[in-house]
Structure formats: structure tokens, C-alpha cells
Structure 1
Amino acid sequence: MLMSTPYGLAAAALLAAAAPAAAQDITTLKILTPVPRTASWYPVLAGEALGYFEEAGIELELVPGGDLPATSFLDNGTVDIASLDAPQVVQAQARGLDIDVVYEVMHGAVEGIYILEDSEAQSVADLEGTTVGIVGESDRALLVTALDIGGVPLDSVEIVVLGESAPLLANSLDGGQVAAIVGGPSDLVSLRSQDLAIRNILPDEIGDLPANSFAMDAERIEELRPMMEGFFEAWAKSVYAAEADPEAVAAMAKEAVPADWVREELGTLLLDLGMSLHVPDNGIYGELRSDVWTNLQEDLMAAGEIEEMVDNESFLNDDFIEAANSFDKEEVQADIEAWRAEHM
């Protein structure tokens, strides 16, 4: 399924020809996301503020994860598209689920392995014989992979699930109950909100893994294709908006999610983290990097998380990458200027 496609004028002309959707044409797109509306997922906020999803005839319904595995939301049809972390995708292939990755959302590991700034630990290798906290079960696979890279036997580390409470996370780390905490951007902000000085010892080898990728039930791709082409163009435009004018996107985020900005520095941290992850390294929005997925599978094999590797072409599907990259950057800049004139 992984094919080489030009990012050219044909798709741009086709998509540009579509008129903005009338109100009665709006279709709800159900998306499983790891977090609710927040500055770290600013493309949701920017796309809504600038009207890009509405122009594509889409209203987003963000479906929160629950106790079920994220892949089950696709398998049972609860959502149209789901944001999955890379190990979840590979493990789903190992279980025989027919799920395709269609867009890499974040070109970098969203999680970190956080320790106190004054800790004597210098790397993951120093966690041997300690207790490590994970915010949720979804963080376990990354920790297992990191420990394997650091040469730390899994049975030499006690893993405890701590949950999302900021005071509990901070007290557990600061009080020495855990030597490190594995979590995502919101958990980093939680720790910082408790005025802890911390640093990240995530191994460089997994720093470039796709933290979140949009995946779909392969059997529904043709059914949803027209809507998804519009969605991915709107999403990529919203990512670019922060590159073009981060100040304006910060204002959009403040307006949409004021709770993120109760402390200005924490809201800024969330947005900066989001930009560092959503913006593609080489300018191709959503690019599916086969070599990175191969490296991930090799790491999971070494850690005993999967028994055999699968062909990347069996689950990396770049059908929507051309549509995502067909937008005009100057038009996005003009849209931001118009938004600024009305809101700033």
C-alpha cells in the first residue's frame, strides 16, 4: 500500500474546486484522540478557528479513550479514525487486525521519561533496580522498549501505574516512591505545574518514533475517502498555521481552551511541545516513514513485545498524503491575517 506519489497540481485543482460546505452538508467525523481539546493538539483548535474543517464539510467529534484498547474503537466502528501510538499499531498487526496507518500525526516521541533535575541518573540504564511510574497502560510499551535499549532487564524494574493526578505524580517523584515517570506532554505540564525541576532521559534511539498516527479500518477507507481527503487537507493547513504565525495560534488556543493558559508559561509549554511534534521534519505533512517503522519493529522484537516483523507495505497506506499536501500556504497566511483582524 505504501506508494510514491507526487504532491502536485492535480489534487490541488481538484480540491480547490470544491465550494465551502453548506450547513446541511456538514458530516460528523468521529476521532479517537489521546487527549481532549488542548494546546498540544493545536491543529484541532486552529482548524476550527480558521474554519478549515467546516469548509471540508466536517464537524469533529473527539472521542476520549477508555479502558478498552485504542484499536478496539476502530474494530467495533465506534470511531472513523483513531490516533494510535506506534507500538499499538504494530501490536495490532501482530494480532491480525486490518488497520492501516494513513497519516503520521507527530514525527517524534510524545512521551518522556522524566526524572528530578538533581537525580544522579544520567540515562535509562541507571533505572535498573528502581521503581518507575507510568501514567497509564499506554505508556508501558515505550518504557519496555527504552529499558531494552538501555540494557536494563525488565524484571529488574518495578512498574506502577500512577494515573493523571498532578499532585500524586509530583509527590511520587519528589518523595522518592518512583525514580522516574513515563508520560506525555500533559503529564510534563502537570509535573511543572507542581514547580518540580525535571529532565527527560528518553533514549535518542526512540525519539523519532511517530508518537501518534492516524489509523483507519482498512475496509472503510473507500467508504470514507471523500470526507477523509478534505479532513487531511484541513489538518495539514492547521499544522502549517502555527508555523506561519505561532502567536495567532496561541491566541486561538487561549480562546478555545482557557484552562490551558491559567499559567501563561504552562500554556506556552504545551503549544511549543505540540509544534515540535506536529510539524514534519521535511515539510511533507503526514509522511509515512517506512524506515522508522522498521526500526520500531526491530526494537519491539528485541524487547519481546512482538514475535515477528510484518511488511510495512501491509499497513502503511499513503492514499491521503497527496491531498494533505495540496494546500496553498499563502492562502493560509491570508486566513490568519483575517482572523487576526477580527480577534487580536
Structure 2
Amino acid sequence: MKNAAIIGGTGYGAIELIRLLHTHKHLQVKKIISHSQFGEHITSVYPHLTGFVEEPMEKLKITSLIEEVDLIFFATPAGVAKDLIPKFAHSSVQCIDLSGDLRLHSKEQYEKWYGKEAAPQEILNQAVYGLSEIYQEQVKEAKIISNPGCFPTSALLGLIPAIEQKVITPNHIVIDGKTAVSGAGRTPTATTHFSETNENITPYKIGKHQHIPEIDQTLSELAQETISTTFTTHLIPMTRGLICTIYAELARDITTEEVIHQYQIYYENHPFVRIKEIGIFPTTKDVYGSNFCDIGLHVDERTNQLIIASAIDNLVKGAAGQAIQNANLMNGWEITEGLDAIPIFP
């Protein structure tokens, strides 16, 4: 049994890590680190954990972590992990960053889109982008993982087979994303206040969302040409769940049945991606509380477009679940370990 620490222990991502790791056969939560609430018991923040987590949250101590844990999940806001991970770079501790600090290869791009000083280039070079289904072999050899963002996970898993098999042109890709309020984190704001969010849909960060360069970077690398997507996000009035509806121009004549078959073959060895049958499209309820990504496809002959719908739980496949999936790959465990729960319904 290996020991894990969670830094940023009171956020939604951390709580999902605790929930999922509770049933993990090879990895246990040894330490929960909280800068703002160390010394307190996590059940004072999340009473539903009563009886499951006994130790109080701790203050960050680098030496103690290096000596006592094997793997650290950084469930921190942007701008924190980039300063902490270099302190573990020369130890044996594996690091998985759930923030966006290591997702962009370019320091200049990070500073442009995140508005913060970037991590050292040495760390950016070491970090493997942990889109588990696509970079599985690289993840197996990695010591530092940059966990993808929730929107990029949904959009990229939906788009990559069509890009790689040249079903669509790399131009004019439009991604319409909708996410639940938990995607904004636990700290309340005017935007996420119940009276502002309830019975309301809000487009946000138009043209400046930090996931834009992450999506474009990955697609461009795989296509070996520059791809710039149109990506618009919306906040919708539900607790968890995320769906991207994607529109892309077809590069050749193909039927819906053929596209679905190609996607089924592409993901046939990846248990967390489920391809819907013709005429059936995913909903966020289909993947609620699970590590699944459900994808539906339709060829619109009238407009010569491929329409892709890709749904995930933003807190699981979009954060904690994918982080555990990456931990499993890094350590040679079954990829489904700790993650094979049936989605919650209704």
C-alpha cells in the first residue's frame, strides 16, 4: 500500500479524491494539507466524511512529505503548485497537479492566459500532460503529471479520433461548453450565488478562457499543424456535470455509422470512454459521479459537419478521477482501480 497526500484539502477536487481513494486497494490518503485550515478536522468542513477521515489537516512541511508519502495530489488553485512541485523534483515523490500550472508548454503562454508567473521551464519540460487515454505510455513513465482541465478532457476526447483519422478539417472547429457550478470551486462569488445562478445560463470568459490554449496546444501537436478553436463556456444551474457540443467541418464523405465505428475502434481498449449508438446522445446524468466520458456522434449531411457531444462529470473525469487514473498508470495498477463505480442516477 502506497501513501498519498492531498495539498489543498478543502476544495471539491480534494473531497472527490478522498471519496474515490477510500476504496483504492493500493493507495491510501496519509496526509491532508490545508494552508488556511490546518489543525482543524476535515469533518468540520465536510460532515459527510465523519467516520472515514480521522486525522486533522496539517500544515505544509516539505521534508515530512518527502519522507512519509509516495505520491502527492495538488488540488490547489492556479499559481500554487508551480511553486511547490520544484521542491519535490529531486525526490522520489510522484506529483499530480490538478491545477493548470503545468498544462502549457510555454511560459509566455501561461503568463498570458493565467496572468501569473510560470513554473520553471525545467518543470514544464518534465511534466506529462495526463490525458490518460491519449498519452497512456508517456504517463506510465512520468514522475510529474499535469492533469487536464475539465473542459479540455471532454472536448479533446471528443475531437481527437476525428482529427487523427482526418474525418474533419482542422479549421472552423466550434466547441460549445456547459458546466455546473462546482466547476467554479468552493469559494462563493456573485456569479455562483444561488439567486444569480438558479434559472439562469451565463456565458463567461468569452475569448479568454484559460482552457483555450490547452485545447489548441494538444490538437495542434497531434495534427502537426496549428489549430485554433472557437471555444465558448456557459455556467448552468446544476451542481456537477459538463458537456461539450462540438461542430467541425467534414474532410471527406462519411456516414454517421462509419464515424461511430471508427470511434468504437479507437477507444475499444479504454474502459472509461463509452461511444453511444446511432441516434443516442449523452447527458450529464449518464456519467454523474463517475469517471466515464460518454460521446455521441452525428454526421449532418445538410451542413457537411460532424456534430460531437461529449459528457463528463467535471469533478471526476474532469479532475479527481482522471488524477487517480493517471496514478494507476504511473504505478502499474489496473487502470480502473478505485474508479469502477456505477454512475449515480437519478
Normalising by structure 1, what TM-score? Answer: 0.31
Higher strand share: 2
Normalising by structure 2, what TM-score? Answer: 0.31
Higher helix share: 1
Higher relative contact order (CA 8 A, sep 6+): 1
